[in-house]
Structures are given as structure tokens and as C-alpha cells.
Chains A and B, each alone.
Chain A
Amino acid sequence: MSLGKLLERILQLVPVLLGVSLIVFVMMALTPGDPVQIMIGDQSITPEQEAELRRGLGLDRPLVERFFVFIGNAVQFDFGTSFYHRRPVGEVIAERLPATIELSLVALIVALVTAIPLGVLAAIKKNSIFDRLATVGSLLGVSLPGFWFGILLLMLFAVHLQILPVSGRIGFSSEVPTVTGFLLIDTLLAGNLRAFGDACRHILLPAITLGLPMTAILMRVTRTSMLEVLRQDYVTFADAKGLSRRRVLFRHALKNALIPTVSVAAIETGSLLGGNMIVETVFGWPGLGRLVVESIFLRNYPLVQAAVLFYAVTYVLLNFVADILYTVLNPRVKL
């Protein structure tokens, strides 16, 4: 990867971010509901006070002006003040981010460690009962809505069997000092194994719910590419060399079959961002996704705008990571 290519990628971000900003700005403005009215709620205030409040939030200015002010501030990494929290938006987001990243990473790991072995097994045992069950399972995995599947898991494990907690990241009794913001790491740093176990129990169901569609997709991709690779001459040649079955399957076949899987995984990680909003809401997970959902209801314009920009940057970067991984796995491709 040359420096020029890297620069080109970063420059590509500029039009993407401008476009995303504009769309979010217009959509928020078009959404019925007024943040000032929501803030006032049932309290009775004079029209003067209301106008003062509106001016304080900068909502008295025309839409076009507000957009350019937002862009001007955003390039200086100033995303404004959250209407609701009365604190800088960047600060509020940074607070919630570790919970979301932690959940996404665990979901990704869950997806990879289940999807790849299942996909390989389905390919090796093509047309067997297992293969057919896996096919049906993956179809269900892609089609089941996350909120429904999440509630189902909650009802079974948290309400009925009562072996897993209903919501949150950790029990009150297991609080540990914040170091990284990732509870799975902080609990270990504190040397508190009981708290670590508690954090694991909390993250299990949301991670499974979030990772399910990805697991299903990655399994299909792995199965298909494994079947394709097993037909290749180099697999026959590896067999002709008298190598062990394991070496032929894993070193020769899987190494090539994983190229599409890894690319799709990196791109699909971006789609976890959207899934986060639903899963975090269902499981009461205090992350960015739930914050954005709440902010949309409160018409908290600055926060929604900043969060969506953050999602866009993350998505583009993940695509970039996918390209890099592709070249790492596939020696024939040079970016």
C-alpha cells in the first residue's frame, strides 16, 4: 500500500461526509416535532422565554445558515452542544462509545468463530442433513428481525430460565473503576473475576442477537467459497502429494476460501452499527446506538448529526480495512 493510495482513500472521505451531513441535516429538519417544544414539555413558559431558548440553541437561524455553521465547526471537530445533556456532543459520544465497540467486537468474534467452522463443515458434508440444516438456519438467521429474536432470547434465558440478566452491562454490585471503558478488560484489570463473569453474562445475549445475521451471511459465504475452492486443481494436486486430510482442507483450501469471508466480514462489521441501535435498545445496553435512538426522539439535532457522521467515517474505514485484509490474504493482489 503506497502513501498515495492511502491519501486518495482519505480524500475520498470528504465528499462522502459532506453528503451524509447534508442528508442528515435535511432529514432531521423535515422530521415533524420541535426540540424546543419537547424540552418545554408540560411546563408553562412565556413566548419570550421560548424565543430566548430557541435563540440559545441557534434554532432561530435559517436552515442553510445552520448547515454551514455546523460544517464550519465540524471541520474543527466541534460538533456543538447536546440539547439534552448541555455538554459538548463529542464528550457525550466518547462516553458511550466503549460500550458499543465492546458489544460489536464480541458480536464479531461470536460470528466468526461460529460461522467459519459451520461453513467449512457444511461444504465438506455437502448435501448432508447437517448441510441442509445449516442452510435453513442461515436463512432464518438473516431473516429474523433482531428486536424479535432478542426479545425471544430474553424471555427464554432471562425471564423463564432466569440464568442471564435482562439488561445493562454489569450488575451494580460488580462495579469496577473505569480504565479502558471496556468492561471485559476493566474487570480483569481490577482482578475481579466475579465481575468479569458478570460482564460476560450481560454481554452474551446482546452479542448473539447482534451477531446472528452476520453469522448467517458469513456461513453462507464460507460454504460457497469452500465448495468452489475444493474443486480447484491445487486441492487435487495437494491430495496427489499425499498430504494429510487436515492439511489439504485447512492449509490449502481454507486459506483461499477465507479471502471472500474476511472481506465480507469487514464490510458486514459496518452493518453491525445499524444493528446496534435496535439491540442496545432491546437489551438496555448503554451504548452509542441507544443514545442515538433517544436523541432522535428528543430531536437532539447536534448529537444525531455527529453520531451519523461518526458512523459514516467508521463504515468507510471498515471498507478500507476490508481492502487491506484482502491484499494480505491474497498475495496476487497489490493495492
Chain B
Amino acid sequence: MTQTLLDVRGLRTVFETRAGRVCAVDGVDVTVQRGECLGVVGESGSGKSVTFSSVMGLVKSPGRVDEGTISFDGRDLRALSPAEMRAVRGRDIAMTMQDALTALNPALTVGEQIAEVLEAHDETLPPRGAARRAAIRAKSVEMLGLVGIPSAENRLRQYPHEFSGGMRQRIMIAIALACRPKLLIADEPTTALDVTIQAQVLELISDIRARLGMSVVLITHDLGVVAEHCDRVMVMYAGQVVEEGPTAQVIGDPQHPYTQGLLASIPRPGLRGQPIRPIEGQVPDLIGLAPQCRFYSRCTRRTDACLAPVEMRAAGPNRRARCILIEEDRA
């Protein structure tokens, strides 16, 4: 068994729209090690969610995965049939979504929504009858207990709207973790929550990760969350990875001007009274992109050399960034 759980190479996901072809993810490489927590940051439209929808095979029409390999636990996910892929989803790779209020089905009880994942994937259950139902129920109660929902036994027959926002998020996590997946993709798990609940939910994910030994991909636009919870971080911009490396190094010494800009734009207690320094300009339109560096129009350090395609460069041990300013010899 290798250390690498997920290995994505050269992923390209495109959406055919009336205005033209949108290349939402363009040549993205991702690796996730076993037990590791990878943070994925970037602004809206940077392709972070689409990258992992592609991994799960959930890109909906008019989008499709165009190129690249997705290797998970030694299997080529792109070669799997829809039925085989369904067996991977929910069992080996699970996902939570940004807003539990919309991700949980309003017309089904919480109990049913947990039970159906177990029903679909759990092979340790008794084959049928009352024993199976009792086992599913016991596991559902156990999962709700694991995510800290009190008196779970009684709450299984309640509907999502009968829970608070933080509880719904926990329920969604319980559903995702019901089959003990090897990889959890948490897509903005805290964006819809208020600050105190955010901390609780993130603690919960970290805690369960340690207990179950699973890997976590934390998609967020909050660098603070990444600093606190992730081993490694990957920064995305306009469909490409622009920088990646161990969290402490990337945050302590960002190499790409975009990462530098992101970090500089965070309000800090020490800089009270001073204006926030945003990154000037807009994300480029993803239709008909020029081959140049995608950050060119917003970069404060651009040169004419940036008008040529820019490849990822090694920026120290285990670090890479997509900028010509990086001297290769540091590697």
C-alpha cells in the first residue's frame, strides 16, 4: 500500500456554454497522502470545487472531464463504469457541501438520509429483515453520537428543518462519514456557519480524521482555517494551481504574487486602523484565455516574460509555484 491515496494528473474539466468553452479546471495536479489534510484555497470560480466534483465523477452537463488521470487508492477512477463509480462515492470518497440546509433533503427524515448510505454501501450489515433494520438504526445512532448530536435515538425521525444550522452541518458530516470513507472532501464546510460553530465543526472534522485515519480535502477561501487545520495547502487561481506546499511554509513565505496578495489582504489585529489591501482587478474571463500567466493583469511584478505560458516550478523541497520569478536552483 502506497502512501499516496489520491493522485490527479493534468486534470482538465470544461463546460460547453453558449458563449464558448469554459475551461474551469486546466491542467491541475493534486496529490493527497493517506491521513493527510490538504487545504485548497482560491476565490469563487478558481476551479477548486469543480476539481473535486471531477474527482467524484459529479460534473453535470454541460460540463465534462476532458483530460487527465484520476488515480484513487490504486484505481483509475475515470475508467470505472457509472455503477462502479457509485460504489466508490459515499463508501471510499465522501463529500460534504457548503450549506447543509440545501444539501439535506427537506422531505426525508434525517434517519432515512443516514440509513440509505449504509443501505447502499455497508457490507457488514445483516442481509435482510429486522436484524438489518436494527443494525442500520444502531449505526445511524452511533454516527449521530460521533458528531455530537444529543439524544440521537429520538432525532432520527425528525426532518432537517427541525435542527439548527450547526446541527445540520454535523448531520451532513455524519452522513458523509457513515461508511468510514478513506477520503473526505469538505467543500467550504464552514462558510454557511457563524464563527463559534465554524470552530466546532472544524474541530469535529480534525478529531474524526485523527480517529478514523482518513484523509481530508478542505476546500475553503479562509486561509486562517487552512493555517490551523491543514498539513499542506494548494492555492488555485483561474482554473490552475498557482502554488502548493506545506502549510507553514506557504503561509510564512508565499512565492506566488497571488498568494502574497491573498495573505496581504487579510485583516490583522496588528494593522488596526489601516485600510485592507485588496488584490486590484478581476479574475480573467475563462473563455478564450491567452496562453500567458493568468494572474498577469493583476500582478504588481509582471514583466514581458510573463506573456509566455508559465509552468509549475519547484520552489524548495516539496514546494511548487507557477511564477517565472522563482529561481529553479532553490529546489
Contact = CB atoms under 8 A, between A and B. Distances in A.
Contact of B161 (A238, A251, A331): A331
B86 A331 contact: no
A102 interface: no
A239 B106 contact: no
Contact of A241 (B89, B102, B107): B89
Interface string A222-262: 00000000001110111111111101000110011001000
Contacts of B175: 241
A133 to B, nearest CB: 21
B87 interface: yes
A22 to B, nearest CB: 43
Given A244-B86, A256-B106, 9 more contacts: A233-B102, A233-B103, A236-B103, A237-B103, A240-B90, A240-B94, A241-B89, A245-B82, A331-B107
A86 interface: no
Interface size class of A (residues with CB under 8 A): 20 to 34
Interface of A: 232-234, 236-245, 247, 251-252, 255-256, 259, 329-332
Contact of A237 (B87, B104, B120, B121): B104
B116 A234 contact: no
A287 B91 CA distance: 59
Contacts, number: 77
Nearest to A241: B90
Contacts of A232: 102
Contact of B58 (A239, A251, A252, A330): A239
Interface size class of B (residues with CB under 8 A): 20 to 34
A284 to B, nearest CB: 44
B90 A243 contact: yes
A61 B211 CA distance: 91
Contact of B116 (A243, A245, A256, A259): A243
A332 B106 contact: yes
Nearest to B121: A242
Given A236-B97, A242-B91, A247-B116, A329 B107 contact: yes
B111 to A, nearest CB: 13
Interface string B93-105: 0110101001111
A233 B116 CA distance: 17
A18 to B, nearest CB: 39
Given A234-B105, A256-B107, A240 B87 contact: no
B89 A238 contact: no
